[in-house]
Chains A and B, each alone.
Chain A
Amino acid sequence: MLTLGAFALGALFAHGSPPQNAEKEVHQKAQITFNRDIARIIFTSCSTCHRPGEAAPFSLLNYNDVKKHAHQIAEVTRTRNMPPWLPEPQHVKFADEMRLSESQIDLIQKWVNQGATEGNPADLPPPPKFTEGWRLGTPDLILNAEKPLVLPPEGADTYWNFIFRVPINETRWVKAVEIRPGDKRYVHHANILVDREGTSRSREARPGAGFGGMEIRIESQVFDPDSHLLFWKPGTVPYIEPEGMELRLDKGADLILNTHLQPSGKPEIIQPSVGLYFASHPATRQLMLLQLENDSKLDIPAGKKNFVVTDDFTLPVDVDLLAIYPHAHYLGKDLQAFATLPGGKKKTLIHIPRWNLNWQAVYRYADPVMLPKGATVSLRYVYDNSDENPLNPNHPPARVRAGNRSSDEMCHLWLQVLPVNFDPAQGDPRMLLQEALSRHNIEKNPADFDAHYNLAAMLQARGKLDNAAKEYQIALHLRPGDAIANNSMGSLLLAQGQADQAVPYLEAALKARPDYFDAHYNLGNAFAAQENFAAASQQFFLAVQAHPADANAEANLGSALAEQGKFVEAKLHFERALQIDPANILARENLAELQRKMK
């Protein structure tokens, strides 16, 4: 009897709550149903990947689907394993944030505990609609992987690169890219790198075969900094660049699709394709990718639990920060980036307290983040090389340094920026960024070849030839056999009228790379300056072989032959030059003069 009384009292007590809490109490006691409360969460945050043809192994499109996996859903949402979204909430918002609120998670837990009931059909919101096939409609150009990769049933994660040759005959401006990785269930993520000179093809065992490797470096000779982060992970929707910010693709460029694959238990065929959408006019705004990094500090002792690496870069110009891409490997634990504005105020740009390489992503900001000249962008990464890190590739833990393999480490932070508030008459602000970044990298690591080379190139572009030469010399001291650096040094000396000094550098460039067009062309000019026209014509001949469609090479060959009195041959090459480019002044004027001589 006493017990009964106590129960009755308890019930009375609950219903006797103050009026403003009554609604909340009723809501909490009310049955949570799929149709009224849960469906909209699933449709918004889950269905996009959990449907046929997408990355997830099962669908979540209706009550039956969800009920079948109810217990699972409750657990993975409670631990925030799903939806996969690594960054913490912060003041500066990201676009397309795939994160459940605490109350949504709570609702799901309660629903499952209450028995996961369906509810009133009238409460069910309309099911989500998805575009089948290419999300943005038929692409202007579809590129298919030449050869599929057969992913074996078991083994470690695989990193494989597919090369897509881009069949365009002139420069095009890409406003959107859709990456279709093949079978989305087995590709963890993928990103595209633009190989403007097709230098990666040499890494394929056979043309079209692709090549392995987690990280790839693309060589480039001209100031043409990367500008776009082209990335795919499950759930990625193709992004249409804002007007004017399209990606430039030139004739001869290759696209490298770098994929991260995980064996599934049975063999899988991976055959990706890429859809390109073109704009009808060139880009007007020049984006740039900046990389903060500190790989040289990565020497992590075995067993070290909290190994901290930082890097700080002060911006020499105003920029809008559009997107951010932090990158580390399996030992990365807590990754953070922030900006310190002039005046001292700090802004968190991203904070990932539980890094998981498998879910790495490019994060676009909801609105561009304005960072003024003088602001310092910093990264602070913490690594765990102990046994307590279950993803540690070494068991027992071993010393780990920077490198390209998955058992190495990395400390990179990519920023996509748009320089703003600049006077075009003052020059290209991206060059100022490149120069500042190169100087910063040299400070961190005086033996950084790329930094010295890039600084030399920037100084040369600004007309500071003596300073540029000094930097090229340092770069060459670090890598005496580097083809590009030797060619650049030779080219600079030639520009300064020092043909004799230029020749050995150009010859060194050709020793390293025998089919190097630029070096042949420059060496031809150097010999011509020395009035050694036989040697000059030999070089121009080799240049033409390397690049048959270069009018200047043909024209210069003609000139060198003419200087040796070989008029008939010379005329042939002038005519060829004009066939390639009827507007080529060198060929036209020299041909005219030759015709006068030959009369």
Chain B
Amino acid sequence: MAQAQSAIDLDGNPVNPLAQASGRIVILIFLREDCPVSNRYAPVIQQISSRYQQDAIFFLVYPDKDESAQRIRKHLADYGYTLPAVRDPQHVLVKLAHAEITPEAAVFNRDHQLIYYGRIDNWYVEFGKPRPAPTTHELIDAIEAGIARKLPAQSSIKGVGCYIADLQ
């Protein structure tokens, strides 16, 4: 019987983040180890996840097939991440979330429908050009909308950062 495509946890077992969090908002954050933009976001991502931990569950998604579990574990430790991480070498979650860039986020409401995908905020104008501070916060807006059982004003805005490798 053909193996269904799936994301895998750091121990190598198939995992489906959406199956894990019934009734809660699910957020996927797509990262690359070597992306200076998504790395700069590490404290921000941690903070947002702590703020909404009652209602939302975050997963860090590493779509690069060459990023091993060992390297990912080191990356999590270096950047102070305490969130669950999954590998997505078959780009199952990437396709589900329409992800192209790191960092990008995907927000699924309590019924696990995709209500937002794209950038976390508008901190970066373009590659190499960060604002002093972000002035819009699309990820937070989407989470708040999901909690309130509404749709966010923005359904999607493309992120600025590093392209995910081997995108189809």
Contacts and interface: CB of A to CB of B under 8 A. Distances in A.
B39 interface: yes
Contact of A154 (B43, B78, B162): B43
Contacts of A391: 125, 129, 131-132
B16 to A, nearest CB: 27
Interface of A: 57-58, 68-69, 71-72, 75-76, 79, 81, 84, 153-154, 156, 185, 263-266, 330, 356, 358-359, 390-393, 395
B96 to A, nearest CB: 20
A81 B39 contact: no
B129 A390 contact: yes
A395 B40 CA distance: 21
B11 interface: no
B165 A265 contact: no
A453 B41 CA distance: 49
A71 B163 contact: yes
Interface centre among A69, A185, A393 (most CB of B within 10 A): A69
B62 to A, nearest CB: 14
Given A265-B43, A265-B79, A57 B132 contact: no
Contacts of A72: 162-163
B128 interface: yes
B1 to A, nearest CB: 33
B35 A57 contact: yes
Nearest to B122: A390
Given A58-B34, A391-B129, 12 more contacts: A57-B36, A68-B166, A69-B165, A71-B167, A76-B127, A76-B128, A81-B126, A156-B132, A185-B36, A264-B39, A266-B42, A395-B135
19 contacts: A69-B163, A75-B163, A79-B126, A79-B127, A81-B128, A84-B128, A153-B42, A153-B79, A154-B44, A156-B132, A185-B36, A264-B39, A265-B41, A359-B128, A390-B129, A391-B129, A392-B132, A395-B131, A395-B132
Given A71-B167, A265-B42, A266-B78, A356 B126 contact: no
A79 B78 CA distance: 32
A496 B162 CA distance: 70
Contact of A264 (B40, B127, B128, B163): B40
Contacts of A390: 125, 129, 131
Report, as a range, how many residues of chain B touch the other chain.
20 to 34
A82 to B, nearest CB: 8
Contacts of A71: 163, 167
B43 A393 contact: no
| Chain B interface main SS type | loop
Contacts of B23: none
Given A81-B128, A266-B80, A395 B133 contact: yes
Given A263-B40, A266-B79, A81 B127 contact: yes
Contacts of A153: 42-43, 79-80
Given A154-B44, A266-B79, A395-B135, A75 B39 contact: no
Contacts of B42: 153, 265-266
Q: Which 7 A-B pairs have the closest CB atoms?
A: A265-B42, A390-B125, A71-B163, A265-B39, A58-B34, A154-B43, A265-B40
A358 B43 CA distance: 22
Contacts of B64: 68
Nearest to A76: B127
Contacts of B165: 68-69
Nearest to B163: A71
A543 to B, nearest CB: 49
Contact of B39 (A69, A79, A266, A392): A266
A76 B127 CA distance: 8
Interface string B8-37: 000000000000000000000000001110
A543 B77 CA distance: 58
A505 B154 CA distance: 69
Contacts of A266: 39, 42, 78-80
A393 B135 CA distance: 11
A81 B41 CA distance: 21
Contacts of B167: 71
Nearest to B35: A57
Nearest to B47: A154
Contacts of B135: 395
Nearest to B127: A81
A356 B128 CA distance: 9
Contacts of A395: 131-133, 135
B59 to A, nearest CB: 18
A56 B66 CA distance: 19
Nearest to A356: B129
A57 B128 CA distance: 13
Contacts of B43: 153-154, 265
A67 to B, nearest CB: 8
A390 B128 CA distance: 12
B129 to A, nearest CB: 7
A52 B40 CA distance: 20
Contacts of B79: 153, 265-266
Contacts of A263: 40
Contacts of A359: 128
Interface in B105-121: none
A355 to B, nearest CB: 11
A591 to B, nearest CB: 66
Contacts of A356: 128-129
